[in-house]
Structure 1
Amino acid sequence: MYPGLPQRDYIDPAVFTLEQARIFRRLWIFAGLRTLLAEPDSFLTRTIGGVPVLVQNLEGRIKAFRNQCPHRQAPLQTEAYGSRTLVCGYHGWRFDAEGRVRSIPGEDRLYHYPAAERERLCLDEFAVECIGNLVFVNLDPAPLPIEEQFSDELRASLAAISGHFGTQAIHARMPSAYNWKLNFENVLDFNHVPFVHPRSFRPLMAKGAANDPRVPADEPPVTAAHLRELSYASETPLQIQPWPWHAQVARFGDADVYYNHFLYPNVNFISVGGYVFLVQQFDPVAPDRTDVHFTLCTARATQRIPALPAILRDHLRSEKQVLDEDRAILEAMQRGLHADGPVARHGAYEVQLRRVALVYRRLMEAPA
C-alpha cells in the first residue's frame, strides 16, 4: 500500500499559492502548439503560475514574455490566439523582438525618461523550448535543463508524433470544480476506465486491452523517484473506425493504438491512431478550481478536406463527453475533501501515483 497526499494539499489556499511558486513557476509548462505560431507576429497568451504570458513569433523566432507593458502593466495581446505586432494598445508603446522598447508615441513631449531608466524599459523574457510542435515555457530566471524534466526518449517520441500535426486546431476551456492534481492523477489511473467510461471509451479498446490487467505482486516498494519518471509514454490497442478522411492525412505510424503521453505537472497528450491529436491541460485556478483546456487537431492534410472543421468539432464533442464523466467523479471527490480526512490507500498498480507524491513533496519543500 502506498499512502497518497494529505487531503489538505487539495484544499488549502496556502498550499495552492506555494504550488504556483514551487511547481508552475519553476518547471517547464506546456504553452501551445508551434503550428499555430508559424506566421510572423502570430501569438498565443496563457496564464502560467499566476503570471500572464505571451508567446509570439517574432522575426521567425518563438519568444515568450510577461504579457504586461512595463509602462502601466496593460496586456500587450488581449486575445488567446491571433496575429498582431508587439505593441501595447493602451498608449502605443512598440517593442522589438528582444522585448526592448522600439518607440513611444510622444516620448519627447510627455515622458522625459532619463537614459538609464529608458534602457531598462523592456519586457520580462522567459525561456522557451520547442519539442517538435509542442512549445514549453519556463518562468524561472535560471530554468532547469529540460532533460531533467523530460527524458531523451520521451522528447524524441513527442517530436516524432507532433511532427504530424495539421495546421488547423480547435480549442475549448472547461471550468471544473476540483483541484488540478486530481485530474493528473486520474489520467494516470487506467483502472477507472471500465467503471467511469463503460459506454464512451471502454468499447473502443481492442479486445483484451486493459480488460484484465495484471501487475507484479513482488515489486520492491518505491521509496524515491526522479522528476523525469513522472512523464512517460504508453500505447494501448484501440478499435478505430475507418473514415474516408483518414486517407487524406499524413498519419503518424500505422498501428491502431491509443498513444498516451503523460507530461508532469499538468498535461495529458493523446492520439487516436495517429489520426487525431489532443492536448488536455489542467490549469490551476484555485485550490478547488481547474480550467481544463483542450487543443485538438488532425494529422497534417495531404489534400484539401472541406469537412475538416466538422471533423474537429465531432472529435472535440466525443472527448468532452469523456471529460464530463471524469468531471462528475472528480468534483464529487473534491466536495468531500477536508483537512483532517484520511489519505488515499494506493494499491500496487498505482505506483506511479506514489512517484508523483514523492516528487511533489520534494518540489514543494525546495528552498525559495
Structure 2
Amino acid sequence: MQSILSHFHYTDPGILEQERSKIFRQLWLFACLSSTLAAPNAYASLSLAGQPVLIQNCNGEIRAFKNQCPHRLVPLQAEGFGQSPMRCPYHGWTFNNDGSVKSIPHESNLYNFSSEEREKLCMKRYAVEIVGNMIFINLSENPLPIEKQFTPEILDKLRDISTHFSAQTAHITVEVDYNWKLQYENVLDYNHVPYVHPQSFLPLLTKDNSSNLTKKKIEQPSIPFFPDVPSTLNAQSYHTRAALKIPPQPWHSMVDRYGEGGFFENFFLFPNVNFNCAEGMVFKIEQYEPLTPSRTAVRFTMAVAKEKQRIRALPAILSGCIRNDVNVLHEDRMYLERLQKGLHAGSPKVHHGQYERYLISFAQVYEKLLKGERPW
C-alpha cells in the first residue's frame, strides 16, 4: 500500500511547526537519565521540540524548567550536563527550587520592580515523570497521563531494565541532513540491515559472528511479521527481541548482566526514541530532535550494566560502544541524506510492504495528531 505521508511531510517548514506544536509539545519526551542528576544541583540542559529545557536536582527532587532567565531570556545552564545552582550568568539573578526569583543583584537601584511584577518573574516549569532511571518531560500546560502514551507493560519493562544501567554514562550528539521521521522509520525497518549494515551490525545477528561477510554471502535475518497494528497512541511504543551474540570481552564478567543474555532488545518509544539493550550488557538510547525539516540532531546516551567491581577502563569501553553505534548511524546516513535530497514537489508516495505494519501505523497516528485528534 502507499504511505499516507507525502514529500511535504519531510520538507515543509510549516509541517515542522505543526509537529512541534501538536506532537512534541503534547507528548511525553525522554530527556535524560536520573542517575546523571544524583548530586545536589546537578543538571541537564537540552532542546526538546525546539524549546530550551533545564532538568535540575532541586534539593533531591528532579524538576524541569524552560532554560531561560525571565529577565533577558539567557540560558541559566549552558552545558549539556553539570552541577551548579540556578543562577543566570548574564546578570547574576538566582532562582529558588520552584523557579521563582531568589535574588537580583542591586535590585532596588537598577530595577525597581513592584511586588506584583517581581512575582511574575518566574521560570516556566514543566511536568516530569521518572520511569525507573529514565526522565520524561511534557511541555504541555495540560499534560496527558503518561499511561495514555505508553502501556503499563512498556512502563514496567522500562522501569526494570533502566535500573540496571551503570552510574557512568557517555553522551554524544550527531547532526544529520534529513528529516527526523526518516531516521525513526529507518529503525522500525529491520529489512534494511543486511544491505546497509553487512559488516557492522549484521554479523552480531548471525551464529558465527563472521566479520568478513560480503553482500554475496548475506542471508536474510529473521524478520518479525507483525499483525495489523492498532492506530492508537500507546500501540506505537513496543518491545522486540532478536537473537544476538556479542564477541566476548574481559569486562563482560565484571558487570551484572540484565536478563539471561543472548538477545538484542529494542524499545521503540513514540514519537522519537529507539532504546536498545545488547545481551543485557550494553544499553543505548537514541533520540531524534528535529532542527529543520531537513536536519536532525541524533542524541546518543550510552551505558553498560552495573559494575560488580570497578572497571578502570569503563570510559574507554563506553567510548568504544558509542563509536560503534555512531558508525552504524553513518551507514544509514549515507542513504537517508540521498533520500532527503531527492524529495521534491513531484515525488511519489512510497510503497509499504506487508512487514511494514508499524511504519503504516506510525503514519496513521502521526497524521491524527497533526489534525488535533486524540488517538487514545
Alignment TM class, shorter chain as reference: over 0.9
Normalising by structure 1, what TM-score?
0.95
Check conservation: 1:4, 1:345, Cα contact below 8 A: no
> In the TM superposition, what is the alpha-carbon distance from 1:118 to its structure 2 partner?
1.1
> In the TM superposition, what is the alpha-carbon distance from 1:48 to its structure 2 partner?
1.0
1:64-104 Cα distance to aligned partner (Å, 9 max, x none): 00000111111110111100011111111111111111111
Check conservation: 1:4, 1:346, Cα contact below 8 A: no
> In the TM superposition, what is the alpha-carbon distance from 1:207 to its structure 2 partner?
3.9
The letter of the residue matching 1:45 is S
Check conservation: 2:2, 2:349, Cα contact below 8 A: no
1:332 equivalenced with 2:338 (yes/no): yes
- Kindly tell me the number of residue pairs found equivalent between the two proteins: 364
> In the TM superposition, what is the alpha-carbon distance from 1:294 to its structure 2 partner?
0.9
Q: What SS class does the counterpart of residue 65 from structure 1 fall into?
A: strand
> In the TM superposition, what is the alpha-carbon distance from 1:194 to its structure 2 partner?
0.7
For structure 2, the residue ranges without an aligned partner over 5 or more in a row are 209-218
Residue 116 of structure 1 is matched in structure 2 by: 116
1:102 equivalenced with 2:102 (yes/no): yes
1:33-182 matches, within 5 Å, as 33-182=33-182
Residue 248 of structure 2 is matched in structure 1 by: 242
1:23 equivalenced with 2:41 (yes/no): no
Residue 191 of structure 2 is matched in structure 1 by: 191
For structure 1, the residue ranges without an aligned partner over 5 or more in a row are none
> In the TM superposition, what is the alpha-carbon distance from 1:307 to its structure 2 partner?
0.7
Cα distance in 1 between the residues matched to 2:283 and 2:221: 24
Q: What SS class does the counterpart of residue 123 from structure 2 fall into?
A: coil
Please give the root-mean-square deviation of Cα atoms over the aligned residues, in Å. 1.7
CA 1:273–1:212: 2 relative to 1, 3 Å? closer
Residue 251 of structure 1 is matched in structure 2 by: 257
The letter of the residue matching 1:241 is P
> In the TM superposition, what is the alpha-carbon distance from 1:365 to its structure 2 partner?
0.7
Residue 319 of structure 1 is matched in structure 2 by: 325
The letter of the residue matching 2:223 is P
Residue 215 of structure 1 is matched in structure 2 by: 225
Residue 214 of structure 2 is matched in structure 1 by: none
1:20-44 Cα distance to aligned partner (Å, 9 max, x none): 1111111111111111011110001
1:303 equivalenced with 2:309 (yes/no): yes
> In the TM superposition, what is the alpha-carbon distance from 1:249 to its structure 2 partner?
1.3
> What percent identity do the matched residue pairs reach?
46
Cα distance in 1 between the residues matched to 2:222 and 2:304: 31
1:344 equivalenced with 2:350 (yes/no): yes
Q: What SS class does the counterpart of residue 69 from structure 1 fall into?
A: coil
> In the TM superposition, what is the alpha-carbon distance from 1:241 to its structure 2 partner?
1.7
The letter of the residue matching 2:33 is L
The letter of the residue matching 1:331 is E
The letter of the residue matching 2:328 is V
1:260 equivalenced with 2:272 (yes/no): no
Cα distance in 2 between the residues matched to 1:94 and 1:168: 30
Cα distance in 1 between the residues matched to 2:102 and 2:191: 55
